[in-house]
Amino acid sequence: MDLVITFGMVGVFFLVIIGVLYLARLRDANFSEYAVGGRSFNGFYVAMSFLNTWWPGTTFIAFAGLTAASGVIGFYALLYSLLTVILMYLIAKRVWVWGARNDVKTQPDLLALRFDSKLIRPVAAIINVVSTFPWVVLGMQALGLVFRYLSLGHLTVVGAMLLGIGLIGVRQIWTIQMGMRGVVITDMIQGLVAYVIGALVIIGVLVFFFHGFGPLNSLSPAMYRLPGPGSALGPLYFFSLVATGALGGWSWGSIFVRLFTSDGVKSLKHSAFVGLPLSFVFFTLLSLLALSGASLPAVAKAPQEVWFIVNQQAGGIWLLALAGVIVFAATMGNIDGNIQALGAIMANDIAGVYVKLSDHALSTVAKLSMAGLVVVSVITAVFTFNLPNLVSLAQMSYQGIIQLAVPQFVGIFWKGGNRYGANAGLIVGFLSAVILTYIYPDLVVPGLGGITTGVIGLVLNLLIYVVVGLLVPATSGEVSRVTRLFQSARLPQTVVVPDPATGK
């Protein structure tokens, strides 16, 4: 009976999502529709879509586990997740107007527009694909943990993972068919379940199970200290985590593309107005639950399972089932978003750069890329399930992806950079981050007080960008092109998206 409740709830939720996809089934008219949903979504949809990609299912496992095991340092994710929205608010107008006026569909596309560079598209695309892939695999593997819990010990680890991966693999059929529109519509429902119902569940557990914040007093004082001078990680470790997270947030292609799905700057800003308080409330509550859970002996033994242990102890099988549905909802949104964005990037910024493709061909290449990614991710997830270094690979990928922050943010705010500095900085920054992370897999470079490998790459990247930008004089044509581009963002927002057939 218990298994009927746990798997039944996940099954019903899955069917609801598939049902919504069928009801909303729309044929995307062109690649722009397929890649960015025709720039047609209001602030609520964009906010929920951002949240569902930003807070994956592993938030309930790895992030909550970090807080349960190590204490207040886990709040670094709260700060960078909120700071990154300030950056979004500041770039919103320029990015959206440039995107809509020039039919920009992906993050590498925008960099190509800013720097008038063909090379930067595959460079940024490859960094995106290489960096995001481990997260797709990790997301699939996280479902293994969900299903192992929901099976109440009846499934082996491998069996649970195969079931989770199978289900998420089947879900991708609709991601591939429907593109961004399908992702955003389902993000709304998945986001409501994961973060709104998730927050309500947490409030209930904190009030009726923990009876307030009393359990926090029973934890060791070390749980409330950040790494400081003389610690193994160093006083700048927390700075590095927050800084790379805040800058890196919009470097992920799957996050950045959310900017292009909105129907205007107003909706984009409204999405920040809606999403930021939701993010704050949800993650603060989750962190408080994880900290309170750390007082339980079972959580002390397995901190990463804090979400399931606490919910099962607090509400028995029904709450455990709901906890599973919540993680499942968050995971689906994240994997869908990543697969869709990577497929669009591979078609638009790798294949489409070297071969002239029609709209139909671009959509077909994107769908084939997504299908290929799903197959490779499933295979990798199955064969690397017991390898501990995949988490390291994911951390390494974060050090790499943040290199895109330099041409992106500096390029959006400063007219002075050029394509040479942007490309050279990206390549040097990315490679140095990867090499340093290989040498120092715990990410901390010795002797620098806790500075992480990605920050070193970021500094090199920025130096190259600025120095080359100052040393290589821009032609008068380039100066005038960039000036026009910057001026265009100040014009009234009467934007007509170019017709792909005529280019007008």
Partner 1 sequence: MGGMIRGMSARMKNWVFGIWFAVCFVCSLFPPLYLAASRQGPQILALPFSVAYMIFVGLLITLSIVVLYLVERTRGEVD
Selected from 62, 165, 180, 276, the binder of partner 1 by CB under 8 A is 276
Q: For the window 48-77, what string marks contact with partner 1 as x by the rule CB under 8 A? A: ------------------------x--x--
Selected from 116, 130, 266, 409, the binder of partner 1 by CB under 8 A is 266
Copy the structure tokens of residue 15: 């069917």
Q: How far is the CB of 194 from partner 1 (least distance, A)?
A: 19
Q: How far is the CB of 183 from partner 1 (least distance, A)?
A: 24
415 interacts with partner 1 by CB under 8 A: no
Place of tokens 């591979």: 346
272 interacts with partner 1 by CB under 8 A: yes
Outline where 355-444 has alpha helix (H): 359-383, 389-401, 405, 411-413, 419-439
Q: CB under 8 A: which stretch of 187-195, 237-245, 253-261, 472-480 binds partner 1?
A: 237-245
Copy the structure tokens of residue 353: 């750069």
Torsion on CA atoms 442, 448, 452, 454, rounded to nearest 10: -130
111 interacts with partner 1 by CB under 8 A: no
CA atoms within 13 A on the CB side of 392: 14
Q: What is the largest CA-CA distance in the chain?
A: 75
DSSP 69-131: HHGGGGGHHHHHHHHHHHHHHHHHHHHHHHHHHTT--SHHHHHHHHHT-STHHHHHHHHHHHH
248 interacts with partner 1 by CB under 8 A: no
Number of residues that bind partner 1 (CB under 8 A): 43
Nearer to partner 1, 280 or 486 (CB): 280
CA atoms within 13 A on the CB side of 281: 15
Q: How far is the CB of 306 from partner 1 (least distance, A)?
A: 16
Q: What is the CA radius of gyration of the chain?
A: 22
Q: How far is the CB of 205 from partner 1 (least distance, A)?
A: 17
Selected from 19, 228, 316, 372, the binder of partner 1 by CB under 8 A is 228
Nearer to partner 1, 242 or 394 (CB): 242
Strand partners, 262: 41
347 interacts with partner 1 by CB under 8 A: no
Selected from 152, 166, 270, 489, the binder of partner 1 by CB under 8 A is 270
Contact 382, 137 (CB under 8 A): no
CA distances from 265 to 39, 100, 272 (A): 11, 10, 11
**Binding residues for partner 1 (CB under 8 A):** 72, 75, 78-80, 82-83, 85-86, 89, 93, 212-213, 216-217, 221, 224-226, 228-229, 235-236, 238-239, 242-243, 246, 264-266, 269-270, 272-273, 276-277, 279-280, 284, 288, 291, 493
